[in-house]
Amino acid sequence: MLLAFVPARGGSKGIPRKNLALLAGKPLIQYTLEALGASKYVQHVLLSTDDEEIAEFCARFGVGTHYRRPPNLAGDAAPMIAAVEHALQWYTAEHGKRPDELLLLQPTSPLRTAADIDGAIEQFRESAAQTLVSVHRVAEHPCECVVAHGDTWEYVVTPPPVVAGRQDYLGKYYYINGAVYLARTDTLLRERRFVVPGSTLLYEMPRERGIDVDTPVDLACVAALLGMRH
């Protein structure tokens, strides 16, 4: 059984009450709830919130809202894995069974679609991987990025000696965008992380659908993309 875990605490620094912030007339979290509702594979959803207003809103979409994240796991410094572990303990005690797979969907990825969710699940189940994370191609190629060391610097990735354009750069470079995390529950509890270097499966999605909303500028960019989509 697959369980979708939606973390939605009430607090936020960059955008006050971010999960309920309006985006094109709808609260930010609604986009994730709608994508979940359109998924072919997701039937069980666990909302993790400490906020009654968020819980009340999500209940309108048929999401179970009995669970509450404790205050000590709802602060800015609280690690996500601790919130996941606590919620899994509650779910197992409440339902008498633990899910085989855990899908984590952050509400801050509003342009992620049901097709992205289902595509990641299908790729994951067709593989022997234990964990999966969504990625998109980097906008700034590492061959054009530098790291400073005092008064000097070096390229993050050394570019070829002669290039006509970016298409001549070798290698595939991706950004972990946080739109989709998926893991076999036993592995997740053992590793205590979704991303295991070298072994986590990468699910590639379009860069524009992987935008993570953290600031008012991000929110404005997503609103503009939604306007172009419509």
Task: Report how far apart the first and last C-alpha atoms of the chain are (Å, whole number).
Answer: 35
Which CA distances in Å does 217 have to 126, 132, 152, 228?
38, 28, 32, 17
CATH number, span 2-135+174-229: 3.90.550.10
Q: Give per-residue pLDDT as tens, 146-190.
A: 999 999 999 998 888 776 566 667 778 999 999 999 999 999 999
Let me know: does 107 contact 9? Beta carbons within 8 Å: no
Q: How far apart are CA 53 and CA 227, in angstroms?
A: 28
In tens, the pLDDT along 40-89 reads 999 999 999 999 999 999 999 989 899 999 999 988 888 999 999 999 99
Identify which has the larger pLDDT, 170 or 13. 13
Please give the pLDDT value at position 227: 87
pTM of the full structure? 0.92
pLDDT one-digit tens code per residue, 184-229: 999 999 999 999 999 999 999 999 999 999 999 999 999 999 988 7
pLDDT at 80: 94
Hey, which bits of 54-208 come out as E strands?
A: 101-104, 131-137, 146-149, 152-155, 174-184, 201-204
Taking the C-alpha atoms of 40, 98, 178 and 21 in order, what is their torsion angle to the nearest 10 degrees? Answer: 80
- Does 22 have pLDDT greater than 70? yes
- Looking at residue 49, its amino acid is T
The rounded distance, in Å, linking the Cα atoms of 112 and 211 is 8
Percent of the chain topping pLDDT 70: 96
Residue of 36, 15, 33 lying closest to 220 (CA atoms):
15
Domain layout of the chain by residue ranges: 2-135+174-229, 139-172
* Residue type (1 letter), 127: S
For the residues 124-151, what does the mean pLDDT come to? 93
Rounded-to-integer distance, Cα 139 and Cα 175, Å: 9
Confidence (pLDDT) at 215: 92
pLDDT on residue 167: 66
